[in-house]
Amino acid sequence: MTTGTAEDDGVELERILEGIGPRLRRLRRERGLTLQALAATTGISVSTLSRVESGVRRPTLDLLIPLARAHRVALDQLVAAPASGDPRVHLRPLRRQGGSVLVPLTQYPGRVQVFKQVLAPRPPELVTHEGYEWLYVLAGRLRLVLGAQEFTLLPGEVAEFDTTEPHWFGPADDAAVEILHLFGPRGDQAVVRTGPSTPPPK
């Protein structure tokens, strides 16, 4: 009886390992990545990636950890993914310093990323970086600083801007603000063209 259980465990382990390669290939293709691009991101050679995806090489932790990071999925999703056809997004909120919460809604590196954010009050600090951002206010009042301009957005209002311009956004008052936040590589822009509300009277 003990031997039978061990055999069953061995069969289950082999089934899990055999499923990792096809799962990795599907993730890479869904994200539009070539083996060369994934190799550059992970530091794993193209030949090793190809052998793991095809099942020729047995996946190990030192291979799976950088691959999980590159695909922005949890390690357990590579080892035992949800059933095929499951459309649900399994959200993992990330708590930031100061009480803010970030919830990634997409997991596609190199493309437009979508987040739900709850921003706690904090002092403004202008930043610049490559990319393009689109903000939609769900609840509360959002203060947006773009260079020398300042705007207040209310629920249902949208703003979009090039992030090479100095910018900052956060609560317009002492209460938290809840937003949808899209960020894309430079050149990837949201199609919405609704502008922010006019600056509040001083």
**At 137, which CATH number?**
2.60.120.10
Tell me the C-alpha to C-alpha distance, in Å, between residue 30 and each of 45, 48, 81, 129, 151: 20, 20, 15, 27, 38
CA distance 135 to 35: 33
Q: Which of 6-20, 84-98, 135-149 has the highest mean pLDDT?
A: 135-149
Asked if residue 176 is part of any domain, the answer here is: yes
CA distance 96 to 109: 21
74 and 98: one domain? no
Task: Give the distance from CA 118 to its chain's centroid.
Answer: 16
Is the pTM for the entire model greater than 0.85? no
CA distance 20 to 25: 9
CA distance 5 to 15: 15
Residue 109 · residue 73 · CB < 8 Å: no
Asked if residue 201 is part of any domain, the answer here is: no
Domain total for the chain? 2
* pLDDT for position 114: 85
Its domain, for residue 168, covers 94-184
Q: Would you state the structure tokens that stand for residue 24, as one six-digit string? A: 């990795």
Residue 127 · residue 198 · CB < 8 Å: no
CA distance 151 to 125: 15
Residue 134 has pLDDT above 60, yes or no: yes
57 and 99: one domain? no
* pLDDT for position 61: 82
Report pLDDT digits (tens) over 75-93.
Answer: 777 776 544 455 555 667 7
Residue 186 · residue 137 · CB < 8 Å: no
Model confidence at 71, pLDDT cuts 50, 70, 90, reads confident
174 and 107: one domain? yes
User: Following CA atoms 94, 101, 134, 186 in sequence, which dihedral angle do they give, to the nearest 10 degrees?
Assistant: -40
CA distance 108 to 128: 23
